[in-house]
Amino acid sequence: MAIFRSASGEGGAEVVLAAGNPYGSRTLVVERDEDSSVAYLCSPEGTVHGAVWLANHRPAPAVVDLARINAGLPPLMPRANTLHPDGRRPLGQLTALWFEEGDGVALYEDEELLAVIPGWADMSRGMPGYARDAVGESPFAWALSEALEGLQPRISNARSYWGWRHSEGSWPSFQQFVMGHLDGALGPAGRYWDASGDRLPTVGITERPPHQGRAYTVLSTVGMSCQRMPTVEQWIDKPGAYARIELAVATREDPRDAALLLVWLSQYPWHSVTWLGHGHTAKWYHEPSTFPLGPQYSGVLMLANAPHMPDMSGFAFGGEAVRWLWLSPVTSETLEAQQR
């Protein structure tokens, strides 16, 4: 049975809210017609990653209305699964609060929490989002009241995080914090490059020339750890130890070449809604002949606590330790072996 077919407004549905996350990787779309309202969590290409029923605007049917679903219309919640079996008025003023990671969102109606679509929502596995007016668990929504204890910390963190992040001086203070840590671990800074352009997350690259017997330059990102990476909790039992990272690379050649690797990957988790961790690999996105560290390589392997590299530990943000992942160039054969 197709539960939610699209978020395109087809079949007579009207889009009443479209709100993108700060990273440009997800959009919350709320649709309604005369009978019901529903929210979708979509990629820029229109793929629906999560969906949740919000309200019936007429009396609820006794069972699922398959004709509506097959017509691509917002579903009607069956009578047993809604707090308002006789229907309710159209939704009021809607606003979105994105999770820090950008992969989940809380939806408010007139400043009251109406629904949550977390990053782990997955319609193909029967996991819709959570709705205030839902009762129990149905294919269209799970009761928000029953999940609020677990969701509330994420929502509260999101509100405080974005309040801080949009405040004057937040980024310069964070940047100074990281740079000071790297001064102690690697020695004085050399050049600094912006790696983010006009898109969030804001990330820079700091160059640390050879220092006190270290015969090579170290380059590090500055800013990846300012926001948690998406989807970590879907793979790791204790995501707090893995959700914040910075990337580093060592080189004896022109540092500007190695810096291209950091430019390539520094915003990747938030724009692709994924995470990077120890043992992960990334294949160079362009022609192999253009790989910054030589055409014999095809990508990188990421290593925490890489042997013979400086110890970068001891930095934390948001109450969570930050891990530095070292990039090591690898051949196409190594990439293929890692992916098996």
Domain boundary among the residues 101, 133, 165 is at 165
Domain count, the chain: 2
Does 115 reside within a domain? yes
- What was the pLDDT predicted at 2? 38
- What was the pLDDT predicted at 46? 87
Does 2 reside within a domain? no
Q: Average pLDDT for residues 65-69, to the nearest whole number?
A: 88
DSSP strand pairing (299-304 vs 245-251): unpaired
Structural domain for 149, as ranges: 14-165
pLDDT over 50 (residue 9): no
Does 7 reside within a domain? no
Q: Are residues 138 and 174 both part of a single domain?
A: no
Does 136 reside within a domain? yes
The answer to whether 323 and 303 are in contact (CB under 8 A) is no
**pLDDT, tens digit, 9 for 90 and up, residues 98-153:** 999 999 999 999 999 999 999 998 877 888 999 999 999 999 999 999 999 999 99
Cβ neighbours of residue 162 closer than 8 Å, sequence gap 6 or more: 22, 97, 98, 100
Q: Are residues 117 and 176 both part of a single domain?
A: no
pTM: 0.92
pLDDT over 70 (residue 11): no
216 vs 211, 213, 271, 309, CA distance in Å?
A: 8, 9, 31, 10
Q: Are residues 180 and 324 both part of a single domain?
A: yes
Kindly give the interhelix angle for 148-165 and 170-186, rounded to the nearest 10 degrees.
Answer: 90
